[in-house]
């Protein structure tokens, strides 16, 4: 039986402070980050991993990351490597300009492991019984310094690169839409909404139609 991680995730993540100054080097110099979305996305992954590790340890599960960054998923939670009840967890981030902006995520390929059981995935697709997405939504801070350098004692001069962070955890099929995520790609797109609660509650079309239809 697969464990449910949702409630524990929210409880632990609520204690996380997302403010970051930058990268601290060996000479106690802070290098600021700017608003590059790839860097910010990696930061949210780094905040997420310790939370998932605590959940895994509580249930005597293993938390594993694939050897290659090109493989799905970002994190795997499992009893052991032979388990057929593995939990796939992907971390996705996106930013919005204001509270009325459309929220968009790309949720991975529908042309690889979903069609071919072993393509671009750690283990086999049929080894996983749950597929979760942890989504982070934020607003970019246009005043954030990019590639500035500060002595650590002046850290309070650093402008944080983002604000108004919101997050959710939901099964992938419940937030997926029925259109590709971008252009002519084979990426799954999230269903269109400007309401964060729709994503947190998993109000996508397949939440009614079911995972098999997805």
Quickly count: other Cβ atoms within 10 Å of residue 134's Cβ.
24
DSSP-based three-state secondary structure for 52: helix
Tell me if residue 80 is catalytic: no
- 157 contact partners, CB below 8 Å, separation of at least 6: 150
Of the candidates 68, 99, 115, 93, the one whose C-alpha atom is nearest the C-alpha of residue 168 is: 93
Q: Which one from 86, 90, 127, 174 is the annotated catalytic residue?
A: 90
How far apart CA 137 and CA 139 sit, in angstroms, is 7
How far apart CA 147 and CA 134 sit, in angstroms, is 28
How far apart CA 101 and CA 5 sit, in angstroms, is 29
Q: Which one from 25, 84, 92, 99 is the annotated catalytic residue?
A: 92
Tell me if residue 90 is catalytic: yes
DSSP-based three-state secondary structure for 101: coil
How far apart CA 66 and CA 193 sit, in angstroms, is 31
Tell me if residue 74 is catalytic: yes
Tokens of 201: 């509650």
DSSP-based three-state secondary structure for 55: helix
DSSP lists the bridge partners of residue 103 as 193
Quickly count: other Cβ atoms within 10 Å of residue 201's Cβ.
14
Q: Which one from 15, 36, 58, 74 is the annotated catalytic residue?
A: 74
- Active site positions, annotated: 74, 90, 92
């Amino acid at each position: 039986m697969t464990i449910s991680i949702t409630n524990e995730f929210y409880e632990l993540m609520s204690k996380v402070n997302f403010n970051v100054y930058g990268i601290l080097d060996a000479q106690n110099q802070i290098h600021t980050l700017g608003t590059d979305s790839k860097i910010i996305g990696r930061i949210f992954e780094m905040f997420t991993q310790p939370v998932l590790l605590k959940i895994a340890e509580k249930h005597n599960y293993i938390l594993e990351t694939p050897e290659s960054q090109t493989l799905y998923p970002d994190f795997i939670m499992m009893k052991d490597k032979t388990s057929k009840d593995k939990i796939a967890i992907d971390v996705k981030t996106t930013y919005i300009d204001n509270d009325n902006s459309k929220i968009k995520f790309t949720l991975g390929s529908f042309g690889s492991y979903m069609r071919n059981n072993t393509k671009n995935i750690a283990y086999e697709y049929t080894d996983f019984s749950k597929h979760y997405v942890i989504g982070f939504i934020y607003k970019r801070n246009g005043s954030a310094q990019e590639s500035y350098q500060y002595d650590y004692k002046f850290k309070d001069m650093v402008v944080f690169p983002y604000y108004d962070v919101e997050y959710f955890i939901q099964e992938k099929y419940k937030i997926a839409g029925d259109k590709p995520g971008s252009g002519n790609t084979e990426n799954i797109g999230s269903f269109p909404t400007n309401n964060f609660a729709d994503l947190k509650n998993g109000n996508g079309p397949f939440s009614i139609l079911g995972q098999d239809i997805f």
